[in-house]
Structure 1
Amino acid sequence: MPASASAGQHEMPGTHGDAPSGDGLAASASGFRFAPAVSSLPPGQAASFRFQIQGADGKPVTAFEPDQTKLMHFYLIRSDLTGFQHIHPELATDGTWTAPVTPLQPGTYRAYTSFTTEDGAGKAVPLVLGEQITVAGTAATRPVPAGSTTTEVDGYTLTLSGGHPMATMEGELTVTVSKDGQPVTDLQPYLDTYAHLTAFHEGDLAFAHLHPKGTVNGDHGGPALSFAAMLPRSGNWRLFLQFQTAGVLHTAEVTVPVG
Structure 2
Amino acid sequence: MRKPSLVDGIFALVAVLVVAGGGVMLFRSTPGPAHTQHQQAAAIVPASHSDGLSEVEGGYRFERVVMPSGRGLAVPVAFRILAADGKPVTRFLDNQTKQMHFFVVRDDMHVFRHVHPNLDGDTWHTAVDLPDGGAYRMFAEFIPLDTKDPRHPVVLGVPFSVAGDTSLVPVPEPDAHTVTETGYTVTRVDEPAELPLLGERALRFAIRTPDGAPVEKLEQHLGANGHMTGFHTMLLSATHLHPVEPAGAPLINGELTFRSVFAERGEYRLFLEFRHGGQLHTAAFTVAVAR
State the identity as a percent. 36
More strand by share: 1
1:20-169 equivalent positions in 2, closer than 5 A: 21-92=49-120, 94-119=121-146, 126-153=153-180, 154-163=182-191, 164=193, 165-169=195-199
Q: Which amino acid aligns with 1:60?
A: P
Q: Distance in 1 between matches of 2:171 and 2:46?
A: 34
Seen in structure 2, the aligned counterparts of structure 1 residues 253 and 123 have a Cα distance that, compared at 3 Å, is closer
Q: Which amino acid aligns with 1:25?
A: L
Q: Distance in 2 between matches of 1:117 and 1:13?
A: 25
TM-score for the superposition, normalised by structure 2: 0.77
Seen in structure 2, the aligned counterparts of structure 1 residues 171 and 55 have a Cα distance that, compared at 3 Å, is same
Q: Distance in 1 between matches of 2:263 and 2:50?
A: 10
Q: Which amino acid aligns with 2:140?
A: T
- CA deviations on 1:83-110 (whole Å, 9 max, x unpaired) are 1000011012x22101121233101100
More helix by share: 2
Alignment partner of 1:175 is 2:202: no
- Given that 1:12 and 1:216 are in contact with CA atoms closer than 8 Å, whether structure 2 keeps it comes out as no
RMSD: 2.3
TM-score for the superposition, normalised by structure 1: 0.86
Shift of 1:235: 1.6
Alignment partner of 1:202 is 2:233: yes
Shift of 1:22: 4.3
Q: Distance in 2 between matches of 1:75 and 1:147?
A: 22
Q: Which amino acid aligns with 2:232?
A: H
Shift of 1:151: 0.6
1:253 aligned residue: 284
- Given that 1:13 and 1:68 are in contact with CA atoms closer than 8 Å, whether structure 2 keeps it comes out as no
Point out where structure 2 has 5 or more consecutive residues left out of the alignment. 1-39
Aligned residues: 244
